[in-house]
Structure 1
Amino acid sequence: MDLAELVEIGQKERASEKPVQVRCCMAAGCLSANSEAVKKSLDAAVSAAGLEAQVQVTGVGCMRLCCQGPLVEVKGEIKQSSVDKPVAEETLGTLYEKVAPADAPSIIGTLTGGETTVQKGDLAQPFFTYQMPIVLENSGKVDPERIQSYIAAKGYQALYHVLREKTPADVIDTITRSGLRGRGGAGYPTGVKWATVAKAKGDRKFVICNADEGDPGAFMDRSILESDPHRVLEGMAIAAYAVGAEQGYIYVRAEYPTAINRLQIAIRQAQRLGILGTQIFDSRFDFKVDIRIGAGAYVCGEETALMASIEGKRGMPEPRPPYPAESGLWGYPTLINNVETYANISPIIRKGAEWFASIGTEKSKGTKVFALAGQITNTGLIEVPMGTPLELIVETMGGGVPNGGIVKAVQTGGPSGGCIPASAFNSPVDYESLAQLGSMMGSGGMIVMDKTTNMVDVARFFMEFCMDESCGKCIPCRVGTVQLHHLLTKISEGKASMTDLALLEELCETVKFTSLCGLGQSAPNPVFSTLRYFKEEYLALIKQGAKV
């Protein structure tokens, strides 16, 4: 396949589009609220109204405002004559919220002058207008189960130009200059990692996509895979070309069946068109992608444990060095990035390193996808430039606590992160600022807590999670997390003393500095942050226990 054929596929797809587009969210959140039945009802309503020639119902990925699902967006209008022009893509459509299957006839009826009582959303509200979609630019727009839909959105053009016009060194230079950092949590410079793998000696090299998203309250990677799987495959292929790999693996947890199914469809479609496989785009580049399904162990998000799992072993971490870039999967040089990192690659190649580097802050470039959850009005996905103030995210975009409640804190980074108090909400959200606050970016989970939340219980919840998910290989994590949970329970139940509090702080330091992998090393972070900002709650519980 050459560029002309690729463009032709996109042109045919766009030409086949009907004047009215009815997009029904088919991501996991809306599917759980019966959106599959909603789509079937919309199809039936279009047929019943005799509008098949002008109305196209499409199942799309996440439309972001998950709390109002199932969501349906209608764009365009019925043509009255052959001279009518189609509605411009930039025009806002009509968003319908909490749609039930019985609502379909009235929604379709509005296209011919009817009325509907279905709840309408506001696409001009801050939740949407403050977003800057790069990773999510196709989410809720393309059909994730049709490669033609992705190609019509300029999909795979970046891969074509890379294979036909750039050397691997050129690609690595572009990614390096863009300032992209790994979106999996640590924020390691992507270009540096790619360059290390490219220089490493080995008969074979591998590329891995880490889709083992395990943080409580996080669903960014799942939504990307469900909404735009080809975007991730294209990013992986570009990475493989840059580092000299011919085999890729996507490691995704079994709890994501919709994402797995759509990835399988996407891989088959790409292979059928020759976009994956051998001599891609008539070049010398071969690249194959396979899926490996994990059993849900949180520790397998750690790269050495993940590779052990792919190899068929028990997922347990190994000491580093050597790092995967030098000796990874089966002892060969291996590149590991997460879903969101790969989803950034195609737009960087298409629009240039300077464009991406102009977004965000000096050290944190581009945008970040966050999953808003907890005690907040607008739960769902957002994508904002790095450096966006936390207050704007929580209060303006998220709508604050429902029913006029007061925000107390936000947990970022999951069990590896920390709790940030409302008094620090003027801080920008970037790698350095979050670290200074005692938290971290993590993969992008953001859990909002109101004033009724007991912060000691929050620390205990995350410690219980880490305790349960510990692989047990090293003593500091295996035993330390149990003892930390025991101490937090004593404090929470009002049975602790100041000696217990001192022991809690000492044990946190021990677990942090002596655990083998990131799970144990970061397990005390929620305790550290709650002690830093909410120590009075610990002291109050200890004082209360002393009076009993």
Structure 2
Amino acid sequence: MTDMLTPVLTDNWDDERAWTLASYEARGGYAGVDAAFAMEPDAVIEAVKESGLRGRGGAGFPTGMKWGFIPQDNPKPKYLVVNADESEPGTCKDIPLMMASPHTLIEGVIISSYAIRAEHAFIYVRGEVLHVIRRLQRAVQEAYLAGHLGANIHGSGYNLDLVVHAGAGAYICGEETALLEGLEGRRGQPRLRPPFPAVAGLYASPTVINNVESIASVPSIINNGADWFASMGTEKSQGYGIFSLSGHVTNPGQYEAPLGITLRELIDLAGGIRSGHELKFWTPGGSSTPLLTPEHLDTPLDFEAVGAAGSMLGTRALQIFDETTCVVRAVLRWTEFYKHESCGKCTPCREGTWWLVQCLTRLEAGQGTEDDLELVLDQCDNILGRSFCALADGAVSPIASSIKYFREEYLAHLTHGGCPFDPTASALFSVEGATA
């Protein structure tokens, strides 16, 4: 089974002091910078386009195409912003990447900035992860001292300054325009679009915003070629990715594999579901993606197949839940998170998430009638697609999908006047019973 893994970003994580410049350079680090400097910026963009790299932050938008949107005839400065505000419940790939090998990201920043002709770049990191911020700051310092950053990098005549910015700790700042607001020193709230960041982003200048994993994948593409990257994955979802398995598996952790691998294969790599239990439901891309069930175990984990199954690949945050988990309680906890993290700018999200929590709290306590399920679904329908950003859409996704697959479990709460779930039982709500 291990031949399914494709360690590229994670290949050096177990090296001694992998986070240091000396360790990274010993593996050929920063060779991709010289390879990129030997190319024209447009050729670098074209290579990333041909590789098929799609955004690893959730939406899956083609990275090279996004870079190509930057208007080079605009006289304003160009900026690259790395979105390292990893906040999605269940997502835990960018933080270990930055901790284990920050120079992989920095090299990607240099190549990406060169391609879009930016001379200033920013890494926006979630403020709570102070250990990551300190490690990145030290790695940036090492890169400056070694001549990988600053003026006339590697004698190429190209200049780049890189700033590590600590956010104030808000989930909403994972949304790219709210991130820009925070970076500019304002309250983190999404902007109305258009204009889009490629035209008027940071400081009203052309800006590319990419996820950590997206930028960190660029050096391997330049070093090994677009065809090498495109040879992995599926026809429309090419390359490799870090899959974060958490929850009720024997060995949770990061598994780097080609896109298109199935959850069944990943669970086998992780040692299976914890002993004596069975899979009940799971999230393919964090808590803001619709739930899936064991019937989807063999769905290829790529953008198209997961979408066809009714969910989203998102950040590949695979949260695994066995039969001891109450789906109503799990969904309520997620909804409480989204209510708390709503920035409050728009009414559907600000008011809608509050009301969803009220209704789900009553249902979890066994209060109300079956009609309240239709009320919750009606609320979800009124919220979906009507907010400034995708936070509200993410909040309703697990609710609607859980009612779809586990309606009987919701009704059981009403029948028993509270949560009837007995975690000592082998399977009070099997998937077959829940969807009957």
Indicate the residue corresponding to 1:385 in structure 2: 258
Q: Does 1:430 align with 2:313?
A: no
Q: Deviation at 1:484? A: 0.8
Match of 1:408 among 280, 286, 304: 280
Q: Deviation at 1:238? A: 0.7
Deviation per CA, 1:188-232, whole angstroms, max 9, x where unpaired? 000100111254624201101110000123221000000110110
Q: Which moved more, 1:438-447 or 1:146-155?
A: 438-447
Query: 8 Å contact 1:181–1:187 — kept in the other structure?
Result: yes
- Partner of 2:377, secondary structure, is helix
- Partner of 1:440, secondary structure, is coil
Q: Does 1:274 align with 2:147?
A: yes
Letter in 2 for 1:398: A
Indicate the residue corresponding to 2:234 in structure 1: 361
Aligned-residue Cα RMSD (Å) equals 1.6
Indicate how the Cα distance of structure 1 residues 400 and 496 shifts in structure 2: closer, same or farther if over 3 A, else same: farther
Indicate the residue corresponding to 2:317 in structure 1: 445
Query: 8 Å contact 2:289–2:311 — kept in the other structure?
Result: yes
Distance 1:436 1:497 in 2: 32
Aligned residues: 419
Query: 8 Å contact 1:251–1:293 — kept in the other structure?
Result: yes
1:294-313 to 2 correspondence within 5 Å?
Answer: 294-313=167-186
Query: 8 Å contact 1:142–1:150 — kept in the other structure?
Result: no
Query: 8 Å contact 2:4–2:258 — kept in the other structure?
Result: no
Q: Does 1:336 align with 2:209?
A: yes
Indicate the residue corresponding to 2:246 in structure 1: 373
Q: Does 1:285 align with 2:150?
A: no
Match of 1:208 among 81, 97, 101: 81
- Partner of 1:418, secondary structure, is coil
Distance 1:482 1:415 in 2: 17
Q: Does 1:262 align with 2:135?
A: yes
Distance 2:405 2:73 in 1: 44
Q: Deviation at 1:510? A: 1.2
- Partner of 2:59, secondary structure, is coil
Unaligned runs of at least 5 residues, structure 1: 1-125
Distance 1:413 1:515 in 2: 21
Distance 1:248 1:142 in 2: 29
Distance 2:187 2:126 in 1: 15
Indicate the residue corresponding to 1:135 in structure 2: 9
1:38-117 to 2 correspondence within 5 Å?
Answer: none
Letter in 1 for 2:385: F
Match of 2:23 among 149, 155, 161: 149
Query: 8 Å contact 2:12–2:18 — kept in the other structure?
Result: no
Distance 1:452 1:387 in 2: 29
Indicate the residue corresponding to 2:390 in structure 1: 518
Indicate the residue corresponding to 2:430 in structure 1: none
Letter in 2 for 1:446: L
Deviation per CA, 1:71-109, whole angstroms, max 9, x where unpaired? xxxxxxxxxxxxxxxxxxxxxxxxxxxxxxxxxxxxxxx
Q: Does 1:182 align with 2:60?
A: no
Query: 8 Å contact 2:90–2:287 — kept in the other structure?
Result: no
**TM-score in terms of structure 2 length:** 0.93
Deviation per CA, 1:345-367, whole angstroms, max 9, x where unpaired? 00100100011101000111111
Q: Does 1:324 align with 2:197?
A: yes
- Partner of 2:385, secondary structure, is helix
Q: Deviation at 1:142? A: 5.4
Letter in 1 for 2:101: D
Q: Which moved more, 1:505-514 or 1:184-193?
A: 505-514
- Partner of 2:197, secondary structure, is coil
Overall identity of the aligned pairs, in %: 40
Query: 8 Å contact 1:178–1:365 — kept in the other structure?
Result: yes
Distance 1:198 1:231 in 2: 27
Query: 8 Å contact 2:252–2:270 — kept in the other structure?
Result: yes
Indicate the residue corresponding to 2:326 in structure 1: 454
Q: Deviation at 1:326? A: 0.9
Letter in 2 for 1:525: S
Deviation per CA, 1:335-383, whole angstroms, max 9, x where unpaired? 1111100111001001000111010001111111022111111011111
Letter in 2 for 1:363: K
Query: 8 Å contact 1:391–1:426 — kept in the other structure?
Result: yes
Deviation per CA, 1:418-437, whole angstroms, max 9, x where unpaired? 22101210111111122222
Query: 8 Å contact 1:197–1:326 — kept in the other structure?
Result: yes
Query: 8 Å contact 1:400–1:407 — kept in the other structure?
Result: no
Deviation per CA, 1:380-434, whole angstroms, max 9, x where unpaired? 111111000111112x012222222111111232232122101210111111122
Q: Which moved more, 1:306-315 or 1:257-266?
A: 257-266
Distance 1:280 1:541 in 2: 63
Indicate how the Cα distance of structure 1 residues 200 and 444 shifts in structure 2: closer, same or farther if over 3 A, else same: farther
Distance 2:310 2:120 in 1: 38
Letter in 2 for 1:476: P
- Partner of 1:419, secondary structure, is coil
Distance 1:415 1:496 in 2: 26
Q: Deviation at 1:537? A: 1.3
Query: 8 Å contact 1:467–1:482 — kept in the other structure?
Result: yes
Match of 1:250 among 123, 135, 145: 123
Query: 8 Å contact 1:484–1:504 — kept in the other structure?
Result: yes
Query: 8 Å contact 1:512–1:524 — kept in the other structure?
Result: yes
Q: Does 1:471 align with 2:365?
A: no
Q: Deviation at 1:545? A: 4.5
Match of 1:231 among 66, 82, 104: 104
